[in-house]
Structure 1
Amino acid sequence: MKVLPDTSVIIDGRFRRFLMENEVKTILVNEAVVAEIEHQAAIGKTTGESGLEELKKLRKFCEEKGIAIEFVGDRPPVNRLKDVDDIIRSSAYDNNAVLITGDITQKTIAEIKGVPVRYISSKKDIRMSIEDFFDEETMSVHLKDGVKVIVQKGTPKNVFFEKKDRILNEDELNEIAIDIIERAKRERDCFIELDEQGAVIVQLREYRIAITKPPFSDRVEITAVKPVRKVPLEEYNLSDKLKKRLEDAEGILVAGSPGAGKSTFVQALAEHYKDQEKIVKTMEKPRDLQVSPEITQYTSLSGSMEKTADVLLLVRPDFTIFDEMRKTSDFLIFTDMRLAGVGMVGVVHASKTIDAIQRFIGRIELGIIPQIIDTIIYIDKGEIGQVFSLGYTVKVPYGMTEADLTRPVIEVKDFEKNTLEYEIYSYGEQVVVMPARKRSIKPPRNIAHELKKIVRGDFDVEMINERKAVIYMNSMDIPRIIGRKGKNIEMLEKKLGISIDVREKETENISVTVKMTK
């Protein structure tokens, strides 16, 4: 029998298995197959690298078994590689060979055109798959060439690692990787989200898988992550105040460190909005949120989230979940959609709650931030750790004293306690994020007590505001309180935490008095 294989059965070893089980005298390999595999390998795709390795093994196998192997046809230019399936079908027909394929579409068209064809289904006897390393408690699996298998188990509240005795070699890892990639191409709810030189990101149903190889990584490595359980919003024990906020808020940031449970929370939030008959969509890359079929999951369109946003604005969802915002373009898209009136829930990596806002500073105008973000929810170990709300006002920022320093200030408050935590404002060309420390303002009588240690004569203290006081005293006492080069007054201001203005008294023989200006 004379056969001609296409690319689909070469790259994963199916064709060699076919040769072991069938009597074949001559193998024809079209130059289009070689060109396609070579092109994929040149741009660093895993399928290309595995295809080259399989061609080497095929040559060796044929030499050992005495099977003739011939290369036929002309090498197509790169711009014709998209027509490789048609080229291979025509080559099989012209050479009176049986086409061997693992592509159901290729098989169907070959039959329509009268080309002899044999279809080989995907191999079922692989020694191991990525699922073999998971059980109900496993959150992630880390496989690396020459290193013991590491599994992460537990929940976001209680995580622990286990090292297995098993060590995988490069061939075993490549076999697992090819199985993952081939299944992602043909199975439902599976996607190849990224395929670059040395790195492939795959969403294999609920598994998010990263496959890396040299030169990107030092060795072949496969990391797979799986959500342990789906948590309804009710299990987060939200206060009535926060429940009401989630009903009204339309610019929510969900922050937390990697693995803290952010995705689990936004899944619950998405389901909550869906149950309230809201139209909910997601923007993800990779699409790893585990949500109901009613919630459509979008990824980047032609590699661009901007194009995805254009589509979403036409779809008009009530809420959009934007998972894993990292690049500047992601924050600009979030801003644009929020200003367009779409309810947005963004997910960001942050070690502290305030860091979620810091991710926007410098990327968009400061004054727009309170218009697009009204609530920040920090997730820690699978639970809601802290909630901030944002407001906008005009005031003298904390730490400044002069009234002419009044400016627009973003107030970041603890949502549950309604206490001011941070102030964000512009100072010159800089943006200041100032913690609102507990203010220890000395009452006027305490100020008078400190002054008596320095001043012997009479004086009056007038509090202009909580940060500024004016002291009226005899002219002969003023040098004593000012001190050499202003050291005394500077030290007193630091001790009391206020600004002090010293003025000469207009009348004499006035005893120490204290008054507050309303």
Structure 2
Amino acid sequence: MLDKSSLLNGVSKYLERNVIYGNILIHRSLLRELEEESKEGMVSGDIALDEINRVKEMAERLLIGFDIVGETAGRDSNVVVRDYCKENGCTVVTSDELQRKMCDLIKVDCVLLQPLPDDKVVIEKFFDESTMSVHLKEDSRPKAKRGKPGEWEFVELSDKVISKPEMKHIVSDVVNSVRFVKGSFIEIERKGSMIIQLGTYRIVVTRPPLSDGWEMTVTRPVARRKMEDYSLDPKLLDKFKEHAEGIIIAGSPGMGKTTFAQALAEYYMELGKIVKTIESPRDMHLPSDITQYSKNYAEIGELHDILLLSRPDYTVYDEMRNDEDFKLYTDLRLAGIGMIGVVHATSPIDAIHRFVNRSDLGTIPNILDTVVFIKNGGVEKVYSLEMTVKVPSGLKEADLTRPVVEIKDFLNDKVEYEMYVFGEQTMIVPVKAGSLRGDSMENRLSKIVENVIPNASVSYEQGEYVVNIPKEEIGKFNRKLTSRLRKLEKKHNIRIRIRLSE
């Protein structure tokens, strides 16, 4: 008698090769269970029903018996199959180790299907050394991305369109392969979709009604990189080593964020740090010294408790998406755990925006101290965040002094954005050197003032431009100069103050 695991493992292959033989029995409870799963859009239910049809056709060809037996029961089909075999003296055929153990306990004959020696994964034929991902869909030609992050091309792998039966056969082969490929598991199965980790391949399967046809996307890391491969500025490496504890890795899909996160996790491990990861699904390829937790198999509160009690030095949070993810990242960071979060963002400032409505302004620099933006597989931008009290740039009145988070380009220490509360809204305002402040504005003011007062100087201090005029030359400060300075203030929304110097 076949159970569900044997069907998902492709039991028809074992019949065809005469690895197993005898009359085939299928229990009505299993059929009912698979029917319900298929109606609900579960991929595994559909695959198992297709396998039953293959087994039936093969039984007719091999001239062996095929029967549907038993009465539909409301219990788990594995239990029903065991009980039927115990009562009727038949043998359970399974690919599930737990099912085999239970059969041994109640003294029921059982055959555990072992991987066939020549089993190969069908999807491997679509890959070469430069293939990043393969995209398969019924009634479409197979396609692939080839190249490396940021430098890839989309190519057709064949002129032949994949039919629905072919597509379902490929999906079935992947599910069958989970058992004999090391490091493989079905991470998530929902109505209409399935996420599988098959060795180094991450596979997403969708089916109607969720999608308009059977579809499979297979991704694989093209290269495993070390921190040395990124040619990072020594100043940034020093920050990672000594100061960075709230790190966000941001970038568009396919740009190499997870690859950089893997390299950073291994870097900290080699520094003697305890590193763990939270993933959904688990698709990072890391040494066994790094424990990888799946968010799909634990509640957020459970992960919170585990990490607080085990106290890792760093936790890599891959693919942060919803409020729960950001809350867990924030709670663990404020508890003193070093955090490395990976988020989708089209610019580095967008990654910071994701925290604005989820955290108080005063806590953001404690949660985030380093934002790394990845583009085309490399580090394009690094921001650091610092809290200060000042008049925000662009505002003029001294009584508008408030806490301001300065977002700086880490490598040149120049402020590019300021974040502050204005009214009830948290603002992130760009600091434009050419219009509001910076060397170009200072140079422009200096030329205007020095044409009239040669010994005067201009400096930028606390959100305003200060014109320093020697006391003995104040007489040269005429109405025309005053008028030009006021026009600049109004045009560029800046503040200019006159100061007499000795």
Q: Out of 290, 293, 299, which is 1:295 matched to?
A: 290
Quote the offset at 1:43 in angstroms: 3.5
Once the two structures are superposed, residues 103-128 of structure 1 have per-residue CA deviations (whole angstroms, 9 ceiling, x without a partner) of 34434543554434444445677786
**Secondary structure class of the residue paired with 1:131:** helix
Quote the offset at 1:135 in angstroms: 1.7
Quote the offset at 1:316 in angstroms: 0.8
Corresponding residue number in structure 2 for 1:139: 132
Quote the offset at 1:130 in angstroms: 1.5
1:277 aligns with 2:275: no
1:159 aligns with 2:157: no
Provide the TM-score with structure 1 as the length reference. 0.82
1:423 aligns with 2:418: yes
Q: Within 5 Å, which residues of 2 pair with 1:312-461?
A: 312-438=307-433, 439=437, 440=441, 443=445, 446=448
Q: Within 5 Å, which residues of 2 pair with 1:255-274?
A: 255-274=250-269
Quote the offset at 1:297 in angstroms: 0.8
CA spacing shift, 1:198–1:516, aligned 2, 3 Å: farther
CA spacing shift, 1:489–1:315, aligned 2, 3 Å: closer
Greater C-alpha Rg:
1
CA spacing shift, 1:24–1:350, aligned 2, 3 Å: closer
* Contact 2:249–2:373 (8 Å) recurs in 1: yes
CA spacing shift, 1:264–1:354, aligned 2, 3 Å: same
Q: Out of 463, 466, 470, which is 2:464 matched to?
A: 466
* Equivalent AA in structure 2 for residue 54 of structure 1: E
Q: Within 5 Å, which residues of 2 pair with 1:50-61?
A: 50-56=47-53
* Contact 1:14–1:122 (8 Å) recurs in 2: no
Corresponding residue number in structure 2 for 1:509: none
Matched residues in 2 for 1:108 and 1:33: separation? 20
Corresponding residue number in structure 2 for 1:214: 208
CA spacing shift, 1:495–1:28, aligned 2, 3 Å: closer
**Secondary structure class of the residue paired with 1:154:** strand
Once the two structures are superposed, residues 331-384 of structure 1 have per-residue CA deviations (whole angstroms, 9 ceiling, x without a partner) of 111100000000111111111111110111111212211011111111111111
**Secondary structure class of the residue paired with 2:169:** helix
Unaligned runs of 5+ in 2: 453-459, 468-478
**Secondary structure class of the residue paired with 1:308:** helix
Quote the offset at 1:313 in angstroms: 1.2
* Equivalent AA in structure 2 for residue 211 of structure 1: V
Once the two structures are superposed, residues 134-156 of structure 1 have per-residue CA deviations (whole angstroms, 9 ceiling, x without a partner) of 12111111111121111111222
Quote the offset at 1:270 in angstroms: 1.0
Greater displacement, 293-302 / 386-395: 293-302
Greater displacement, 48-57 / 388-397: 48-57
Once the two structures are superposed, residues 284-314 of structure 1 have per-residue CA deviations (whole angstroms, 9 ceiling, x without a partner) of 1111111111111111164533422221111
Q: Out of 239, 250, 259, which is 1:245 matched to?
A: 239
Provide the TM-score with structure 2 as the length reference. 0.84
Quote the offset at 1:59 in angstroms: 5.4
Q: Within 5 Å, which residues of 2 pair with 1:78-227?
A: 80-81=75-76, 84-111=77-104, 113-122=106-115, 129-165=122-158, 166-185=160-179, 187-227=181-221
Corresponding residue number in structure 1 for 2:35: 38
* Contact 1:401–1:468 (8 Å) recurs in 2: no
* Contact 2:466–2:499 (8 Å) recurs in 1: no
* Equivalent AA in structure 1 for residue 132 of structure 2: M
* Contact 1:231–1:268 (8 Å) recurs in 2: yes
Corresponding residue number in structure 2 for 1:305: 300
1:49 aligns with 2:43: no
* Contact 2:255–2:376 (8 Å) recurs in 1: yes
CA spacing shift, 1:283–1:517, aligned 2, 3 Å: farther
Matched residues in 1 for 2:332 and 2:308: separation? 8
1:494 aligns with 2:490: yes
CA spacing shift, 1:496–1:202, aligned 2, 3 Å: closer
* Contact 1:12–1:54 (8 Å) recurs in 2: no
CA spacing shift, 1:396–1:34, aligned 2, 3 Å: same
CA spacing shift, 1:64–1:382, aligned 2, 3 Å: closer
Corresponding residue number in structure 2 for 1:232: 226
Quote the offset at 1:466 in angstroms: 3.0
Quote the offset at 1:407 in angstroms: 1.2
Corresponding residue number in structure 2 for 1:505: none
Greater displacement, 356-365 / 45-54: 45-54
Matched residues in 2 for 1:497 and 1:89: separation? 80
* Equivalent AA in structure 2 for residue 152 of structure 1: K
Matched residues in 2 for 1:170 and 1:279: separation? 47
Quote the offset at 1:22 in angstroms: 9.0
* Equivalent AA in structure 2 for residue 466 of structure 1: E
CA RMSD of aligned residues (A): 3.4
CA spacing shift, 1:153–1:497, aligned 2, 3 Å: same
Once the two structures are superposed, residues 445-467 of structure 1 have per-residue CA deviations (whole angstroms, 9 ceiling, x without a partner) of 848999xxxxxxxxxxxx99836
* Contact 2:133–2:144 (8 Å) recurs in 1: yes
* Equivalent AA in structure 2 for residue 201 of structure 1: I
CA spacing shift, 1:234–1:62, aligned 2, 3 Å: closer
* Contact 1:395–1:407 (8 Å) recurs in 2: yes
* Equivalent AA in structure 2 for residue 149 of structure 1: P
CA spacing shift, 1:489–1:342, aligned 2, 3 Å: closer
CA spacing shift, 1:244–1:18, aligned 2, 3 Å: same
CA spacing shift, 1:301–1:288, aligned 2, 3 Å: closer
* Contact 1:43–1:196 (8 Å) recurs in 2: no
CA spacing shift, 1:293–1:117, aligned 2, 3 Å: closer
Matched residues in 1 for 2:208 and 2:329: separation? 35
CA spacing shift, 1:221–1:358, aligned 2, 3 Å: same
**Secondary structure class of the residue paired with 1:195:** strand
CA spacing shift, 1:120–1:292, aligned 2, 3 Å: closer
* Equivalent AA in structure 2 for residue 258 of structure 1: P
Matched residues in 2 for 1:159 and 1:356: separation? 25
CA spacing shift, 1:21–1:190, aligned 2, 3 Å: closer
Quote the offset at 1:37 in angstroms: 1.6
Quote the offset at 1:394 in angstroms: 1.1
* Equivalent AA in structure 2 for residue 378 of structure 1: F
Corresponding residue number in structure 1 for 2:473: none
* Equivalent AA in structure 2 for residue 232 of structure 1: K
**Secondary structure class of the residue paired with 1:269:** helix
Q: Share of identical aligned residues, percent?
A: 38
* Equivalent AA in structure 1 for residue 464 of structure 2: E
Unaligned runs of 5+ in 1: 451-462, 470-476, 483-487, 502-513
* Equivalent AA in structure 1 for residue 147 of structure 2: G
Matched residues in 2 for 1:125 and 1:167: separation? 27
* Equivalent AA in structure 2 for residue 348 of structure 1: V
Once the two structures are superposed, residues 10-34 of structure 1 have per-residue CA deviations (whole angstroms, 9 ceiling, x without a partner) of 3454248627859988543222212
Residue correspondences, number: 475
